[in-house]
């Protein structure tokens, strides 16, 4: 007897809204993501809150901190003096903990992006 097959078709209905306010060297942001992911083996509800603050230390350096679903986030941005080089680093602890912890356990996520424009 063959094993039952599972569908690998997924669909999502997700909405996102947010707000940002610049005040001198400070940038305050917040947003919410709400929706559902449909697929095998079940439907997963998504309901995330994110907020944070960025501070421009200098024209080339920005540091940031915040919260993603009540978990700490941190990062920095370096923008080259000529504006062509951009380096971003971000750290998020237990990203999407409500949805993914059941399947994957705890996580520490780090991202590093480098870009060059001409």
Query: pLDDT digit string (tens) for 34-45?
Result: 888 777 567 778
Residue 1, domain member (yes or no): no
Residue 102, domain member (yes or no): yes
Residue 76, domain member (yes or no): yes
The more confident residue out of 76 and 92 is 76
Residue labelled with tokens 């060059």: 116
Residue 36, domain member (yes or no): yes
Region 84-112 average pLDDT: 76
Structure tokens at 87: 């380096």
Query: pLDDT digit string (tens) for 9-43?
Result: 777 788 889 999 999 999 999 999 888 877 756 77
Give the number of other Cβ atoms within 10 Å of residue 92's Cβ: 22
Residue 5, domain member (yes or no): no
pTM: 0.68
Residue 2, domain member (yes or no): no
Predicted confidence band at 2 (pLDDT cuts at 50, 70, 90)? low
Count how many domains the chain has.
1
Query: Which range of residues forms the domain containing residue 106?
Result: 10-116
Residue 63, domain member (yes or no): yes
Residue 4, domain member (yes or no): no
The residues, any chain, with a CB within 8 Å of residue 63's CB and separated by 6 or more, are 54, 55, 57, 74, 75, 76
d(CA 30, CA 64): 13
């Amino acid at each position: 007897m063959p094993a039952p097959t599972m569908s690998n078709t997924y669909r999502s209905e997700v909405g996102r809204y947010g707000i940002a306010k610049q005040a001198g060297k400070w940038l305050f942001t917040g947003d919410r993501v709400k929706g559902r992911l449909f697929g095998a083996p079940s439907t997963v509800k998504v309901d995330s809150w994110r907020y944070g603050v960025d501070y421009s230390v200098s024209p080339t350096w920005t540091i940031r901190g915040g919260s993603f679903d009540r978990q700490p986030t941190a990062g920095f941005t370096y923008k080259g003096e000529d504006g062509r080089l951009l380096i971003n680093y971000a750290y998020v602890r237990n990203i999407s903990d409500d949805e993914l912890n059941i399947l994957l356990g705890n996580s520490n996520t780090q991202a590093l992006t480098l870009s060059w424009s001409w």
